[in-house]
Chains A and B, each alone.
Chain A
Amino acid sequence: MNLLKKIFFIDFIKGLSLTFKYNVSRTITMRYPDEEKWLPYQRFRGLHTLNRDSQGRELCVACELCAKVCPTQCITVIPMEDVGTDLKSVPRGISDRIAKVYEINLVRCLFCGFCEDACPTTAIRMGRDYELACFTLDCAIADKKKLLTPRDIPAEFEGGFVVKAKFIRNDEGIKVKPDLSKKKRWW
């Protein structure tokens, strides 16, 4: 048997077959960030988002529980009364108490997600943005406007695969914009 194996290079062919199999199989190298991007699962804890309800009102009532529970004390909330609302116009928030200031210091944040757990109105959610690099420390403070901006990846979008993406580099920092329509199974 051993002799036959040796004559016909059986082990050699076995080994090479695996090599050739991979040679013709799908590639597993992700061309990140230039062409592709990994789109995380929904439970991923990336850059926070502040959400609105279906009528477009801010969900945050500035209760400061996120700031209280935060282990690194990176969240600053200053509430105010939304006095500008009357019954005719759509109020800014779901309650007359809204956040005047909502800031997260991303340098201190350890993305534990306690804020998400503490939030009584599901206003703050951990998003799926993970490209947080920038050129100055100023951009490390995420203010209310930034947090309220809708993200490229909607919360209800299922994740866990690679999509086509475009690498953008400008004065604000770098960003990899995904194209959600072109999903691609990785692996």
Chain B
Amino acid sequence: MGNEFVGDKPRRYITQNSELITIFIMATVKINGKEITVEDGTLILDAARQAGFEIPTFCYQARLSRLGSCRMCLVEIAGQKKLQPSCVTPVLHGMEIFTQNETVKTARASMLEFLLANHPLDCPTCDKGGECELQDLTFKYGPRQSPFAERKRRFHEKDEILSPVIVKNHNRCIHCERCVRICDEAVGAKALGGIGRGAMLKETSFLNKELDCDHCGNCIEVCPVGSFMSLPYRYKSRPWDLVETDTVCPFCATGCQLTIGTRNGSVLRVRSKIETGINKETLCARGRFGYDFIQSEKRLTKPMAKKNGRLTECSWEEAISQAKNKLSSAKKIAGIASARLTNEELYLFQKLMRNVFRTNNIDSGSRWTDKRTTDALINACNLSEGGTSIFEALKADLIFIIGSSISDENPITDYLIRTTAADKRKNLILAYPRRIKLDSSATISLKHTPGSEDIVISGILNALQNQAVKTDGSQVSESDIATIAQRMKTASTISIFLGTDSLRFANGKEMLLGIANLAKALKASGKNIKVMPLLDRCNQRGAWDMGVHPSFLPGYKKTNSDGMDCTGILEASSKGEMDAIYIIGEDIVSMYPDAKFAKEALSKAGFIIVQDMFLTETAKMADIVLPGASYAEKEGTWTNQEGRLQRLRRALQPIKAAREDLSILSSIGGFEYKSARDVFEEIRKEAPGYQDISFDSLNNTGVLVKGHGAEKQGSRGQGVKGSSETKINPSNPRTLEPSNPYLDDYPFLLITGNHLFHSGRLSQKADVLKRLLPESFVEISDKDAAALGIKEGDRVIVKGKHHEAVLRVRVKQGSLKGTAFIPENFEDVPVNCFFKKGEGIPRVKISKQ
């Protein structure tokens, strides 16, 4: 940057290609006599912090919009009579700023005095005491006395309970409005607002009633004082008593960093640290409040073996030796591992199955698809080519999200996208049949028929190539497709976020191929494309990286002979061909989309070993049950959906006689690994992408995995050669066959997936989360509800071809007509019973009870 630019205003140019270019010009300012050159337009606060001067703040937070209300950050600017709030004042070239002189110090102390005038000073009973920003700043900058003798403002005697997890004390509020802003800008729930004026302002829910929001607790986290507090953690401990362990959230593949606080061996709370990890202080309800499953009374604490048809407790030696004998004597053997295990455990699992028991029949259960579709996803997202930072992906001009109820499946990714999409120059295009929270931030939101994603994608592809667009059967207007294609043409960088819903549809493979083609076509036209997966299991990507897949070895190396995927294993088992199945952490009976088939298949298996934390439906069928450990009880690494390797740290010892999954696998396989570190060292040798990463240097940011250098999988022979070759014929929609005899009898297409408060069946064991949503429901669109004469909260009969359930209705405005949603998490409403293997999306009928 040449000196001649210094001091000029930023210039914005429009080039011949109608691109907007902003050139930042530097400004030199003097802060406390120290000269610093920063970009013009930088806030004084940021400039001062860069120069190494501390300025206290309450209302300022980097990711939130600027408010300038707390006046803690006042600074003196030479030539200006009044002090200026540095968090909203940009620097100007030549400014002389003082942040530490007597005027500023007095102003700070007076501001604190004003805040403390109405602050109740009930620190001894306040849960924030000890980590309160007001306490800290008062000790640092505050006046040590107050002449204020009048009565303090007092709204109430007893704290108000705003939700099953949030409790509010209005008396302590200092009006920084961080809670309101994080709720609006990041979470998007817009559940909080201000009532009243001046000192009597209350930041609370609508009409101060019980909150009906995401219950994410981010308001608790950002609150600088003890105004918002967590109800499960209420009066449990003091922050200085807690032993805090940084680890990673187990509920989705976003991979949020969280901190578990334990006291005397019991988990008391989970919090997130400011500016840490990709989540940057935000978490969702399940991450923040779903920790009590770790010490649930329902946990398995002792190994069990089947004796006379009943599972009875036995010793570890007995269980291990029996498992070993049965596995080694079995001729045909298969293994299914949960994608919630650590990389080390998954690696060891595939090593055990491949090297010791000589089989390639291993799979991890991501939505229980066939391996061809999985391969298509791996290929479409270029998973073998290493990780892509989500922040890089979010810099794109256009973000296209398809196949994921992202607000429910990956809430923090949703927050990140919402914050980014606040920039109105960006295009956010969302394609999902239900109305989800992120729709409010989207420029275009497509509501297409479930299962018709391939038609949408091929439509866009055709429109990009200026060919005729046909969207029959997808209920999407051709003009929308044309607009999307137009936006894609003008954008120079595009990020496509790809959900896992495609793995459940019969034609998911076509959609994924379509995405790969779309990406290729866009890349060919000189655009920068990133395809990001949105996965629902925390280590799904790691499981594929580690070779827990019937046709890949660690690092996506091809196997010599393909094994069976999960469906194949169950099919073989139903024919009575499987001698032994080893299942870790998966509840196949309740999650496989055809409960009846899965149950029958497993009942015919020769011998079943289940390693899990809870006695699941699958574990009840097992011959041997081994109690495993939860995420808080083990060391290891997880690879999130971006391909970011993050470290789990042990906060507790495994409950009672339960053992870490790694040590169970080691004893069955006779391996001699002392710790997860040893296994990781071996992973580094086997998976080239992990080669340069050292286990001990993994910090809170994690490290992006590099490319594995494996040959690119051409989607198993149906290679992505050119966009024109794999065009899908849109005139033949597969899910809405007009000849479908059930179409009239069963007018609704049933979508299933995770609810915002739940993830698989794991979070069902967390009592706090169960309190947030005690019973399952069926969600239909407002148009359908009006047509059927159903109101919110009514009980209805949901009847499918194979199953029937009575559920409460939730009416969602703006969802697509003819779609119904039931969360797959509830034990008493097993949605997988609605499914029939090979039929794809089930159809249901909804009628009043």
* Interface residues, chain A, with chain B CB atoms under 8 Å away: 61-65, 68, 78-81, 95-97, 120-121
Contacts and interface: CB of A to CB of B under 8 A. Distances in A.
A150 to B, nearest CB: 24
A90 to B, nearest CB: 15
A81 B129 contact: no
Interface in B120-162: 122-125, 129, 158-159
Ordered nearest first, which 4 A-B pairs have the shortest CB separation? A63-B124, A81-B235, A97-B125, A64-B238
A146 B487 CA distance: 75
Nearest to A123: B124
B234 interface: yes
A64 B235 contact: no
Contact of A79 (B123, B159, B236): B236
B124 A65 contact: yes
B240 A63 contact: no
Contacts of A64: 238, 241
A46 to B, nearest CB: 25
9 contacts: A61-B125, A63-B124, A63-B129, A80-B236, A95-B124, A96-B159, A96-B235, A97-B235, A120-B123
Contact of A68 (B125, B158, B238): B238
B237 interface: yes
A183 B80 CA distance: 75
Contacts of A63: 123-125, 129, 238
Nearest to A62: B235
B362 to A, nearest CB: 46
A120 B238 CA distance: 16
A70 to B, nearest CB: 13
A18 B112 CA distance: 70
Contacts of A80: 235-236
Contacts of A121: 124
Contact of B124 (A78, A96, A120): A120
B240 A79 contact: no
A172 B169 CA distance: 46
Contacts of A68: 238, 240
Contacts of A61: 124-125
A68 B240 CA distance: 8
Given A120-B123, A121-B124, 8 more contacts: A63-B124, A63-B129, A68-B240, A79-B235, A79-B236, A81-B234, A81-B235, A96-B158
A46 B236 CA distance: 30
A121 B240 CA distance: 20
Nearest to B231: A81
Contacts of B125: 61, 63, 95-97
Interface string B220-240: 000000000000001111101
A40 B384 CA distance: 79
Contacts of A65: 124
Contacts of B236: 79-80
Contacts of A78: 237
A165 to B, nearest CB: 38
A65 B234 CA distance: 17
Contacts of B123: 63, 120
Contacts of B124: 61, 63, 65, 95, 120-121
A120 B120 CA distance: 14
A134 B235 CA distance: 34
A68 B158 CA distance: 27
A87 B122 CA distance: 20
A120 B122 CA distance: 10
A63 B236 CA distance: 11
A65 B129 CA distance: 10
A121 B122 CA distance: 11
Of B125, B234, B238, most buried by chain A (CB within 10 Å of CB) is: B125
Contacts of B240: 68
Nearest to B241: A64
Nearest to B236: A79
B414 to A, nearest CB: 33
Interface string B97-129: 000000000000000000000000011110001
A79 B237 contact: yes
Nearest to B159: A96
Contacts of A79: 235-238
Contacts of B158: 96
Contacts of B159: 96
Contacts of B238: 63-64, 68, 79
A65 B159 CA distance: 22
Nearest to B122: A95
B127 to A, nearest CB: 9
A71 B186 CA distance: 44
Nearest to A95: B125
Interface in B602-640: none
Nearest to B158: A96
Nearest to B264: A78
A64 B237 CA distance: 9
Contacts of A95: 122, 124-125
B715 to A, nearest CB: 57
A79 B159 CA distance: 17
Contacts of A62: 235
A78 B265 CA distance: 14
Interface string B232-252: 001111101100000000000
B120 to A, nearest CB: 12
B225 to A, nearest CB: 16
A109 to B, nearest CB: 19
Nearest to B263: A78
A164 B752 CA distance: 82
A63 B234 CA distance: 13
A117 to B, nearest CB: 14
A181 B237 CA distance: 44
A65 B235 CA distance: 14
A96 B241 CA distance: 20
A58 to B, nearest CB: 13
Contacts of B235: 62, 79-81, 96-97
Nearest to A81: B235
A81 B125 CA distance: 10
A123 to B, nearest CB: 10
A64 B126 CA distance: 11
A78 B125 CA distance: 13
A95 B122 CA distance: 10
A97 B237 CA distance: 11
